Amino acid sequence: MRGQAGLARTYDGARFRGPQRRNGDRLEPTTWEDALDLLTERLAAAGDKAFFLGGSETGSLDSLIDEFMQRIGSPHRLRYEAFAHEALRAANRELFGIDSVPQFDLAGADVVVAFGTDFLETWLSPVKSQREYVGGRRDGHGHTVFVGPRLGLSAASADAWLAPEPGSEILVALTLAHEVARAKGVNVPELAAFGPDRVAESTGIDSQVLRDLAARIASAKAPLALPPGVELQGTNAAAFAAAVQLLNYLTGSIGRTVRFGPDHNVAGLGRFADLKNLAGRMRGEQIEVLLVHGVNPVYDAPQVDFAGAMSNVFTVSFSSASDETTALADLVLPDHTPFEAWGDAEPLLGLEQLQQPTVRPLFETRALGDVLLELARRLGRGDGLPGDFYALLQSRWGGGAAGGRGPPRWRPAP
């Protein structure tokens, strides 16, 4: 869930008021003491057959989850997001040998071509993109073209919207690359079949429109092509992303408006195949306790039949509100929302941010970090761990880096 939804998430009427325990086909309220007793018992019995399925956790919580799973003797974990930029990462591996998601400089670009990329709505960091986009268009600077079937916020905010035939968007990227290469005197035989005249009929976009756009890109000082967003993901998504990155390479944008390092912190996210493998292990009774935080696989991956796999496993959800996966869980230990919790994050590798609560917890919820620390103590594996997650954060941020080096970064407000 994006940060912009934090307020609605905090005051969501569907939030759990406290822990829940399954009784037949229903979840019913229980106490934290009883819930933690039950989970402690289950984890102790599971041994090395416990598994943590989470989202894109970073920072101190990410490290604590790893340490907790190690301490209980079951270091099994999958970081999963339904849209983890797998196609873009695969394209970058193929083209540049780098398995990561770079930064795209909207503020520094004078021509932007977005291929179904909802950069103002829900792609990478929308807040950063919005700030850069507005800053880059001051004084009439910049020209944006959106290529995709849907007239969303990003398309409506662009200077031009091209809506090719569904499924043909990759041809637009390839013909633009063909024309840019020709304009710059670069011979790319693999692009010979993608001239504007050949592509026009398949895409439904006039060949002259394609030529004019390519000419604008080729003459730009700082062009930028944004790889396909969620709405254009499919079986050819990696090839599509590679075509867009090839266009960026031919325009000289790599290292300028497309920069690797510091990259978006997504390289540790698993793939769809990893989630499918997890479901198979659950069906094969290789997992006895599943801890779920920040993901909803029953909804996100119906083709995996995660709901069926959950019937073989004692499942614990830390979701603050009901969703398709939590509705099938055996135990719910609701987490605080970000507005109620201390935390930190590392959205870009090397860029750390501290988060502090803005409101007191509205209900009988507990921070996931506090729950893991309490479980470690109950299991006799808590030696050397701080008393609560706040203390862990304070210790980690007491120095200039995670290891405590440098000047203090934790300074109480006056």
What is the structure's pLDDT at 31? 98
Question: 161 near 151, Cβ under 8 Å?
Answer: yes
| pLDDT-derived band at 329, boundaries 50, 70, 90 | very high
The Cα 25–Cα 238 span in angstroms is 42
What is the structure's pLDDT at 383? 95
Tell me whether residue 286 is in a domain.
yes
What is the structure's pLDDT at 230? 73
Please say which residue of 221, 249, 264 terminates a domain.
264
| pLDDT-derived band at 174, boundaries 50, 70, 90 | very high
The Cα 248–Cα 102 span in angstroms is 12
Task: For 238-281, write each residue's pLDDT tens digit.
Answer: 999 999 999 999 999 999 999 998 777 776 788 889 999 999 99
Q: For residues 113 and 68, state if they share a domain.
A: no
Query: Which of 22-31, 77-86, 202-211, 292-301 has the weakest average pLDDT?
Result: 77-86
Q: For residues 258 and 116, state if they share a domain.
A: yes
Report the CATH number at residue 350: 3.40.50.740
Tell me whether residue 413 is in a domain.
no
Tell me whether residue 411 is in a domain.
no
Q: For residues 58 and 164, state if they share a domain.
A: no
More confidently predicted of 165 and 127: 165
- Is residue 336 over pLDDT 80? yes
Question: Between the ranges 7-21, 115-129, 238-252, where is the mean pLDDT highest?
Answer: 238-252
| pLDDT-derived band at 176, boundaries 50, 70, 90 | very high
- Is residue 89 over pLDDT 80? yes
Query: Which of 16-30, 248-262, 345-359 has the weakest average pLDDT?
Result: 345-359
The Cα 224–Cα 210 span in angstroms is 16
Tell me whether residue 159 is in a domain.
yes
- Is residue 402 over pLDDT 50? no
- Is residue 358 over pLDDT 90? yes
Please say which residue of 249, 264, 279 terminates a domain.
264
Edge-to-edge strand order for the sheet containing 258-264?
A: 101-104, 258-264, 343-348, 351-355
The Cα 310–Cα 330 span in angstroms is 10
Q: For residues 76 and 90, state if they share a domain.
A: no
Tell me whether residue 403 is in a domain.
no
Looking at every residue in the chain, the average pLDDT score rounds to 91
Query: Which of 166-175, 207-216, 267-276, 399-408 has the weakest average pLDDT?
Result: 399-408
Cβ within 8 Å of residue 386, ≥6 positions away:
373, 392, 395
C-alpha pair distances (Å), 401 with each of 110, 349, 352, 355: 37, 13, 9, 16
Tell me whether residue 404 is in a domain.
no
Q: For residues 260 and 195, state if they share a domain.
A: yes
Q: Which amino acid is at 114?
A: A
Q: For residues 180 and 78, state if they share a domain.
A: no
Residue that has been written with the tokens 């300028």 in this structure: 256
| pLDDT-derived band at 84, boundaries 50, 70, 90 | confident
Cis peptide bond upstream of 19, omega within 30: no
Edge-to-edge strand order for the sheet containing 26-29?
A: 26-29, 20-23, 331-332, 314-317, 289-292, 50-54, 77-79
Cβ within 8 Å of residue 101, ≥6 positions away:
85, 88, 89, 92, 124, 263, 264, 266, 267
Q: Which amino acid is at 75?
A: P
Tell me whether residue 71 is in a domain.
yes
Q: For residues 362 and 256, state if they share a domain.
A: no
Tell me whether residue 56 is in a domain.
yes
Report the CATH number at residue 194: 3.40.228.10
Please say which residue of 264, 292, 322 terminates a domain.
264
Q: What is the DSSP string of 355-400?
A: E--SS--SSS---HHHHHHHHHHHTT--TT--SSHHHHHHHHTTSS
Q: What is the dihedral of CA 38, 39, 43, 46, to 10 degrees?
A: 60
Q: For residues 108 and 50, state if they share a domain.
A: no
Q: For residues 375 and 312, state if they share a domain.
A: yes
C-alpha pair distances (Å), 344 with each of 226, 331, 356, 390, 406: 29, 26, 8, 11, 18
Task: For 295-312, write each residue's pLDDT tens digit.
Answer: 999 999 999 999 999 999
Range of the domain at 315: 3-83+270-396
| Helix (H) or strand (E) segment spanning residue 289 | strand 289-292
Q: For residues 122 and 260, state if they share a domain.
A: yes
Average pLDDT over residues 22-29: 96
Report percent pLDDT > 70 for the chain: 94
The number of folded domains in the chain is 2
Cα-flanking dihedrals φ and ψ of residue 291, to 5°? -100, 125
What is the structure's pLDDT at 400? 47
What is the structure's pLDDT at 380? 97
Q: For residues 168 and 77, state if they share a domain.
A: no
Q: For residues 148 and 244, state if they share a domain.
A: yes
Average pLDDT over residues 173-201: 96
